[in-house]
Amino acid sequence: MRVEYINPFVECSYRVLKEVLGGADVQRGDLYLKSTAMPVMGVAALVGLAGAVEGRVLFDMTFDTALKVASRMNFEELPEFDDLAKATISELANMITAQAVTKLHELGFQFDVTPPTLFVGEKMEIAALGKNPGAEDNVEALIVPLITDCGKIEVNVAIRERN
Amino acid sequence: MFGDINIKYIYGVVESNNRLYILLDIDRIFGARTEEDDEDTPKQDIRPVSHAVNAQESVAAKPAVTSPAPAAAAPVEEKKVSRKDDINYKFVCESLKSFRKFNVSFVNEKWTENRFNEWEKEKGEGKTQLQNESDADVFMKPFYSRCNATWWTKEYADAVYKALPENSAKQISVWNPGCGKGYEAYSLACLLKKRYPNARIRIYGHDIDLLSVSNAPLINLPANVASDWYAPYTTKTVNGEATFDKSIKDMILFEYHDCVNTNALPVVDIIFARDIVSFLPLESQNKLIADFGEKIKGNGIVMLGDNESLAGKDKWVEKATGSVMAFSKQ
């Protein structure tokens, strides 16, 4: 992953999350790379990227964390992970990605984002397959762990330049 | 018919008499060539490991030598018996793995065995064990390549320059895994610009150290380095510091990437991977070397560390130009 792409995603994830959680303490964990199929924690918001650069950004968290974040963002305690909560998490993903993309536009990288898609369920796995589907051919993803008082959120970025 | 064929089965493309011919690797497609077949083929002679010691002492040009003919032996005594069954040797190998993540494999076993023989003479028989990281560092010191993790000297740059093959392609791509802070990538960029002035050069510098690779695009040169052989490729910043000019910087794409993961690189002309394979787990070493085979063009070359070798594995052929060894596919 180009080094120029990393900072916008890391910075914007941190900044937006801190803002929407009302200035709460957000700790950024060590970044790392992963290339295998990854289990999803329970709630995953996915935003696609297309253009000269293609790929996706995934925001992964547990049900509990998603509900707490959605409650905080709506200024009310949501009793269950209903449509409002789902829309809120989707919007959070959209906000972070859009800000990161804006930053990247300013740096001269042009690409578009797709509307967010939310996946909710248990025992799900995310795999970004290359041209040769197989465990040994997954596209590499950058993982940015963010620790909040609502729980851990992982920003999972897998993008590459289109050859 | 060819719409869905995997690019790895395409051996090459040839144009002749206004027709385009796609050459297929039939052996690979029909599975006639297997891992066992590769291992059964006669092993290429591997140059004596201590050629790197000679290289340190002299970088004078020598005639290019292509194996399988054995090259001139370096004046270092070698035990004819393999050390693989020696328990002391095995303990040392385990210690190197534990202390310095150095994994002994076909890539570096000749060097390791020779080094162990020297170590044993130095320490005495029965006292060869590596007690701590400091011992491991002393043992490993001769392994590291010239100009490792630093700017290249003129002598080394000249030696690499002479090893670069003829290439009339309009675009030349280079993969530089383990680029670190960028010393290798920038040095290669300067050399390639000189060697192939009419080609568009593209260097992919990859490293798993995020801090190093993030700062690589911003690197400045010390004054004494900038005035050396790098001088024609540098410019001054507004602060008066020396940096590489735009044409050099534009050649290099630094990426945060683990080389054992899948990458989206195109096939490349040169792979420059010094002192990186030996520090990967064995399974990752095999995976990376297989990837080298997939990614390198038919006329491309791979350059490893001074004490690493691909000779004897999967039909890699070594060619020595002076003190620099390059490997190409047979």
CATH number of the CATH domain containing B288? 3.40.50.150
Q: Is the pLDDT of residue B63 over 70?
A: no
How many residues would you count in chain B?
330
Instruction: Tally Cβ neighbours within 10 Å of residue A135.
Output: 10
Give B138-174 pLDDT, tens digit per residue: 999 999 999 999 999 999 999 999 999 999 999 999 9
Query: Domain boundary residue among B143, B171, B190?
Result: B143
**CB pairs below 8 Å between A and B: how many?**
52
Give B229-280 pLDDT, tens digit per residue: 999 999 998 888 899 999 999 999 999 999 988 888 889 999 999 999 999 9
- Looking at residue A132, its pLDDT comes to 53
All residues at 6 or more sequence positions from B276 whose CB lies less than 8 Å from its CB, including other chains: B177, B178, B259, B305
Whether residues B179 and B288 share a domain: the answer is: yes
Residues in A touching B257 (Cβ below 8 Å): 1, 33, 140
Of the listed ranges A106-110, B71-75, B78-82, B231-235, the one predicted with least confidence? B71-75
Whether residues B233 and B261 share a domain: the answer is: yes
Give A27-68 pLDDT, tens digit per residue: 999 999 887 667 788 999 999 998 888 889 999 999 999 999
Residues A154-163, mean pLDDT to the nearest whole number: 82
Q: How confident is the model at residue B29 (pLDDT cuts 50, 70, 90)?
A: confident
Q: B257, A161: Cβ pair inside 8 Å?
A: no
Model-wide pTM > 0.90: no
Top-ranked range on mean pLDDT: pick from A61-75, B50-64, B68-82 = A61-75
Range of the domain at B118: 76-143
- Strands (E) across A29-150 are located at 32-34, 38-39, 43-51, 53-61, 111-113, 117-120, 125-126, 141-148
Torsion sign, CA atoms B107, B110, B116, B118: negative
- Looking at residue B86, its pLDDT comes to 85
Q: A35, B261: Cβ pair inside 8 Å?
A: yes
Whether residues B161 and B253 share a domain: the answer is: yes
Q: Is the pLDDT of residue B57 over 50?
A: no
Q: How confident is the model at residue B313 (pLDDT cuts 50, 70, 90)?
A: confident
Whether residues B170 and B319 share a domain: the answer is: yes
Instruction: Tally Cβ neighbours within 10 Å of residue B54.
Output: 16
Residues B40-45, mean pLDDT to the nearest whole number: 40
DSSP H or E segment with residue B287: helix B282-295
- Looking at residue B48, its pLDDT comes to 37
Q: What is the ipTM of this complex?
A: 0.80
All residues at 6 or more sequence positions from B311 whose CB lies less than 8 Å from its CB, including other chains: B43, B44, B45, B46, B47, B67, B317, B318, B327
Whether residues B297 and B319 share a domain: the answer is: yes
Q: Are B210 and B177 spatial neighbours (Cβ–Cβ below 8 Å)?
A: no
Query: How far is A21 from chain B, CA to nearest CA, in Å?
Result: 28
Architecture of domain A3-161 in this structure: 3-Layer(aba) Sandwich (3.40)
Query: Domain boundary residue among B113, B143, B173?
Result: B143
Residues B107-135, mean pLDDT to the nearest whole number: 92
Whether residues B246 and B215 share a domain: the answer is: yes
Q: A6, B256: Cβ pair inside 8 Å?
A: yes
> What DSSP letter does each residue of B73-89 carry, written as one string?
PPS----SS-STT-HHH
Whether residues B170 and B313 share a domain: the answer is: yes
Residues in A touching B216 (Cβ below 8 Å): 3
Coil/strand/helix, residue B124? coil
B261, B264, B287 ranked by CB distance to A33: nearest: B261
Q: What distance in Å separates the CA atoms of residue B95 and residue B31, rounded to the nearest whole number?
A: 39
Query: How far is B173 from chain A, CA to nearest CA, in Å?
Result: 13
Query: How far is A2 from chain B, CA to nearest CA, in Å?
Result: 4
- Strands (E) across A62-150 are located at 111-113, 117-120, 125-126, 141-148
- Looking at residue A120, its pLDDT comes to 92
Residue A49 bridge partners (DSSP): A55, A113
All residues at 6 or more sequence positions from B272 whose CB lies less than 8 Å from its CB, including other chains: B174, B175, B176, B184, B188, B303
Whether residues B288 and B167 share a domain: the answer is: yes
Whether residues B240 and B134 share a domain: the answer is: no
Of the listed ranges A159-163, B84-88, B112-116, the one predicted with least confidence? A159-163
Of the listed ranges A14-23, A82-91, B20-29, the one predicted with least confidence? B20-29
Q: Please indicate whether residue B51 or residue A53 has the higher confidence score (pLDDT).
A: A53
Nearest to B328 by CA among B313, B182, B41: B313
Query: Domain boundary residue among B143, B177, B197?
Result: B143
Q: What distance in Å separates the CA atoms of residue B268 and residue B174, rounded to the nearest whole number?
A: 6
Residue B89 bridge partners (DSSP): none
Half-sphere exposure of A52 (CA within 13 A, CB side): 8
Percent of chain B with pLDDT over 90: 61
Q: Is the pLDDT of residue A133 over 60?
A: no
Q: How confident is the model at residue B66 (pLDDT cuts 50, 70, 90)?
A: very low
Whether residues B161 and B297 share a domain: the answer is: yes
Mean pLDDT, chain A, integer: 87
Q: What distance in Å separates the CA atoms of residue A99 and residue A102, rounded to the nearest whole number?
A: 5
Query: How far is B222 from chain A, CA to nearest CA, in Å?
Result: 24
> What DSSP letter does each residue of B172-216 carry, written as one string?
EEEEEET-TTTHHHHHHHHHHHHH-TTSEEEEEEEES-HHHHHHG
Residues in A touching B256 (Cβ below 8 Å): 1-3, 6, 31, 33, 142
Q: Is the pLDDT of residue B74 over 90?
A: no
Whether residues B235 and B325 share a domain: the answer is: yes
Q: Is the pLDDT of residue A153 over 80?
A: yes
Q: How confident is the model at residue B13 (pLDDT cuts 50, 70, 90)?
A: confident
Mean pLDDT, chain B, integer: 83
- Looking at residue B31, its pLDDT comes to 62
Chain A residues touching chain B at CB-CB below 8 Å: 1-4, 6-7, 31, 33, 35, 130-132, 136-140, 142, 160-161, 163
Nearest to B163 by CA among B1, B9, B325: B325
- Looking at residue A129, its pLDDT comes to 61
Q: A35, B255: Cβ pair inside 8 Å?
A: no
By C-alpha distance, the chain B residue nearest A53 is B264
Domain count along chain B: 2
Q: What distance in Å separates the CA atoms of residue B267 and residue B98, rounded to the nearest whole number?
A: 35
Q: Please indicate whether residue B37 or residue B189 has the higher confidence score (pLDDT).
A: B189
Q: B258, A31: Cβ pair inside 8 Å?
A: no
Q: How confident is the model at residue B108 (pLDDT cuts 50, 70, 90)?
A: very high
Q: What is the dihedral of CA B282, B287, B291, B294, to 10 degrees?
A: 120
Residues in A touching B266 (Cβ below 8 Å): 163
Q: How confident is the model at residue A138 (pLDDT cuts 50, 70, 90)?
A: low
Q: Are A118 and A45 spatial neighbours (Cβ–Cβ below 8 Å)?
A: yes
Query: How far is A162 from chain B, CA to nearest CA, in Å?
Result: 9
H helices of B101-173, where? 109-123, 133-140, 154-163
Q: What distance in Å separates the CA atoms of residue B77 and residue B129, rounded to the nearest whole number?
A: 21
Give B285-294 pLDDT, tens digit per residue: 999 999 999 9
Coil/strand/helix, residue B244? strand
Structure tokens at B214: 């993030």
Whether residues B255 and B295 share a domain: the answer is: yes
- Looking at residue B138, its pLDDT comes to 95
- Looking at residue B305, its pLDDT comes to 95
The answer to whether residue B134 sits within a structural domain is yes
